[in-house]
Structure 1
């Protein structure tokens, strides 16, 4: 971790009283999942505060924690000012950049900073649907090839390749050491902007 003092401020900063209980009531999650989600929210906050111009994307679970925290404007403003040392604006409406390259880079930054991969229970693979679609297409192509050639070899090869694609995607490994994706300051949801509830 590159900024231990920042992490200690974020980790030690109290959430509003009864926050986990309210999160459980709102989401229906068991308490242990709610507590894990709050811990991952703190990690996202660290990533955002660590590099002010880097876009970091929350998972759906982390976004729910962020939105609930943002409802208590005074507590959220204290968190931004005292723990993060910067503004962190929450976009209005659904978060627009959760899949693809943005999320991959967030997960790589996570692995680099925390020395471990993000837990799949809170941070699911952003490309899982795409990978499953490709695997399905390969399996269908193998079956079609078997029908066309009256041989089992294409269907076996297609099935094996499809299984490999799925297996590689489920390994949960995000390699550290890739670069950050920099964007200009002022990107809504990260460095200010006029997108609603944020630290003022």
Structure 2
């Protein structure tokens, strides 16, 4: 289940190129971020399980997204430019922000040594173009820093990432059925122009 409104909501970190750290510190930063536990030991509903439940994902997919969220955090610090997450990574970031102590104290203060803010677009065509550019640069930095292709099911190409704004709302699945919207083209009479 996504939390998007009617417009395209793209996000970026406020970490700027001035926050770029030396390659020696980058390696230890990556190790610290990778070691950071999103799932609290002994929790009945740990972070990854909550992410899976809230998004309607398998636990395995939510675990992969959590790993990619950590990689995004590394990119936010190491890329040397503003970064934009994929929709799935953004959902993990949204959820982590709800775990305020884990996010602000554990991740930002203890692991990163700085704040990592999540800021929405202010809207408009210039903002849309900016975030497409930042997302493209984020994918380039992913390849450069991790020396591999980002998984396409979590990090789609920019034209797919920004093709359509999801229109979703919170829905109580215990009270409502969720059915996919049909393609109305199946109900149109066939003519030579639409065959």
Partner of 2:6: none
Gaps of 5+ in 2: 1-22, 41-45, 164-195
Query: How far apart, CA to CA, are the structure 1 residues paired with 2:91 and 2:97?
Result: 10
Q: Look up the match of 2:50.
A: 22
- Partner residue in 1 for 2:168: none
* Aligned with 1:101 (options 133, 149, 156): 133
Cα offset for 1:130?
9.0
Offset of residue 128 of structure 1? 3.9
2:147 to 85, 91, 115: 115
Unmatched tracts of structure 1, length 5 or more: 132-200
**Matched residue, 1:173:** none
More helix by share: 1
2:91 to 44, 55, 64: 64
TM-score (norm 1): 0.58
Q: Secondary structure at the match of 1:64?
A: helix
Structure 2 residue 116 is matched with structure 1 residue 88:
yes
1:12 matched to 2:35? The reply is yes
Instruction: Give the direction of change, closer, same or farther, for the CA distance of 1:31–1:130 in structure 2 (3 Å limit).
Output: closer
Q: What is the TM-score with the length of structure 2 in the denominator?
A: 0.60
Task: Using CA pairs under 8 Å that are at least 6 residues apart, name the structure with larger relative contact order, 1 or 2.
Answer: 2
CA contact (8 A) 2:66 2:92 kept: yes
Structure of larger gyration radius: 1
- 1:116 is paired with a residue whose SS is coil
Shift of 1:100: 2.3
User: For 1:111-162, what per-residue CA distance to the aligned partner results, in whole angstroms no more than 9, with x for missing partners?
Assistant: 000001111010011124899xxxxxxxxxxxxxxxxxxxxxxxxxxxxxxx
* 1: CA distance, partners of 2:149 / 2:108: 25
Give, in angstroms, the shift of residue 99 of structure 1: 5.2
